[in-house]
């Protein structure tokens, strides 16, 4: 207690710094999962993708990022264990941020798409179980989180498979694919817009003091979705085509239309990613700030300080802009060959899954969600369409990330504890 009162301000400053570093790592590594399909399908250049991601990652993190934060902050370890020793909670959360941030930067340097969620959850489990005691960890909660890592890629894979097959049946297998695309693509845009609007209105607006009833919220979502559909219809009709072109050229023109749609789904995925994964950086930071501001009390729930969400959002954007291109190229080019229509199916399926999970407060891995979606699209075309060696390497990175996060966290926890003990 005394050490928190004496050095609380310094601990908050240090926690804010390492929280920013963690957010930087999230932006550098994990945002590739949001934008990789767009870049890989050639719907967007890397520069365009970074600009779009910067805007929508920040918006998602700032307006809809608070829901999952509570799970990361207090759902993995038992806060009551720290009632008599609150300083250990602060040390541990700082150690978890250093551990996860370090691993993300190393992985990004080598172009490995790893899970930021695995990193921080493993780090929190590490310091909680070894630094304090096995009883400190909510193992049932951890089991649920691990279960979601299995369920979400399966769910996103199934959604991507169904969306891709629907596009195949409704558009590509018809006599006139271009006419069919102009007819059906706006409906895909409506679907994507509704998802994005729903999470913003239902989970995000309350953070800025705007509260709507469920009915009003749904009506507003529908209105936004319809508006986007109309705008999309107008944009699609502006695509120039040669009416005398052969069917192969029609396919090319259809992909151009899906390219327009990919820009919108890239926005959806960036927004969804920001809303879910900013928690990996600000959840532990919120725990440190909460225990210090309360004078050493370990509360089940604390309100987020006004500066925490913007700090995480800005960190994600800077990480993406300065260091994100490496993993974007890995995700976009190496798993399977993507066209705009295939990338769209994967991206909107992954966005839907992430938004649903974020609304439920599940800290899922967008890495696994997107890879599951890309696999779903690839499986629709046959196993030969997948680069199995790359997929194997990605799976290995998933397996090692959680234990690496745990081990690094334990090391940093004891270093911080030792340093503070000497003060």
Summarize pLDDT for 274-320 with one digit per residue, the tens. Answer: 777 787 888 888 888 888 887 767 666 666 778 888 898 899 889 98
pLDDT on residue 296: 67
pLDDT on residue 414: 92
Q: What is the largest CA-CA distance in the chain?
A: 81
Give the distance, in angstroms, between the CA of residue 193 and the centroid of all CA atoms in the same chain.
Answer: 18
**Whole-angstrom Cα distance, residue 158 to residue 124?**
31
399: its two tokens = 């397996």
Residue pLDDT, tens place only, 1-30: 577 777 788 899 999 999 999 999 999 988
* pLDDT higher than threshold 80 for residue 383: no
User: Cβ contacts of residue 262 below 8 Å, gap of 6+?
Assistant: 37, 38, 41, 43, 44, 340, 343, 344, 347
Beta bridge partners of 77: 137
- Share of the chain residues as helix, strand and coil, in percent rounded to the nearest 5: 85, 0, 15
pLDDT on residue 104: 94
**Whole-angstrom Cα distance, residue 277 to residue 61?**
8
pLDDT on residue 280: 83
pLDDT on residue 176: 80
Residue pLDDT, tens place only, 70-121: 555 556 777 777 777 888 888 999 999 999 999 999 988 888 888 888 888 8
Give 131's DSSP letter.
Answer: I
Domain range spanning residue 70? Answer: 2-422
pLDDT on residue 150: 77
pLDDT on residue 208: 53
Overall average pLDDT of the 314-327 stretch: 87
pTM: 0.82
Domain count, the chain: 1
Residue pLDDT, tens place only, 119-162: 888 899 998 888 778 877 878 777 776 777 678 888 899 999 99
Least confident of 38-42, 59-63, 272-276: 272-276
Overall average pLDDT of the 382-391 stretch: 77
Cβ–Cβ under 8 Å, residues 332 and 40: yes
Q: Mean of the per-residue pLDDT values for the chain?
A: 81
59: its two tokens = 């918006």
């Amino acid at each position: 207690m005394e050490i928190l009162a004496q050095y609380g301000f310094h601990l908050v400053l240090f926690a804010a710094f390492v929280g920013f570093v963690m957010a930087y790592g999230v932006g550098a590594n994990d945002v590739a999962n949001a934008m990789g399909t767009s870049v890989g399908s050639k719907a967007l250049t890397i520069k365009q993708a970074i600009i779009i991601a910067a805007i929508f990652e920040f918006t998602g993190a700032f307006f809809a990022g608070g829901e999952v934060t509570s799970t990361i902050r207090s759902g993995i370890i038992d806060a009551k264990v720290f009632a008599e020793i609150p300083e250990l909670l602060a040390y541990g959360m700082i150690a978890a941020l250093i551990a996860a941030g370090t691993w993300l930067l190393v992985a990004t340097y080598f172009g490995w798409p790893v899970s930021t969620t695995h990193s921080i959850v493993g780090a929190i489990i590490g310091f909680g179980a070894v630094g304090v005691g096995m009883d400190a960890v909510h193992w049932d909660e951890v089991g649920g989180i691990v279960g979601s890592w299995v369920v979400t890629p399966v769910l996103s894979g199934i959604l991507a498979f169904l969306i891709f097959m629907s596009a195949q049946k409704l558009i590509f297998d018809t006599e006139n694919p271009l006419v069919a695309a102009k007819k059906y693509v706006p409906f895909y845009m409506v679907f994507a817009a509704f998802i994005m609007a729903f999470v913003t209105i239902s989970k995000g607006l309350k953070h800025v003091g705007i509260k709507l009833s469920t009915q009003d919220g749904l009506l507003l979502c529908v209105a936004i979705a319809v508006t986007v559909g109309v705008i999309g219809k107008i944009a699609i009709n502006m695509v120039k085509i040669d009416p005398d072109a052969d069917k192969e050229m029609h396919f090319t023109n259809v992909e151009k239309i899906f390219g327009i749609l990919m820009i919108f789904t890239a926005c959806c995925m960036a927004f969804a990613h920001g809303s879910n994964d900013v928690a990996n950086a600000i959840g532990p930071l919120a725990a440190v700030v909460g225990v210090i501001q309360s004078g050493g009390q370990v509360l089940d729930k604390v309100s987020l300080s006004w500066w925490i969400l913007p700090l995480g959002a800005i960190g994600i954007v800077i990480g993406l802009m300065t260091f994100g291109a490496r993993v974007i190229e890995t995700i976009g080019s190496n798993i399977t060959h993507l066209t705009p229509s295939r990338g769209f199916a994967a991206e909107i399926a992954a966005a839907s899954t992430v938004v649903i999970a974020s609304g439920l407060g599940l800290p899922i891995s967008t890495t696994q969600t997107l890879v599951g979606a890309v696999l779903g699209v690839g499986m629709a075309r046959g196993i030969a369409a997948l680069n199995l060696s790359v997929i194997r390497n990605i799976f290995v990175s998933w397996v090692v990330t959680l234990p690496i996060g745990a081990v690094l966290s334990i090391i940093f926890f004891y270093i911080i504890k030792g340093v503070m003990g000497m003060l």
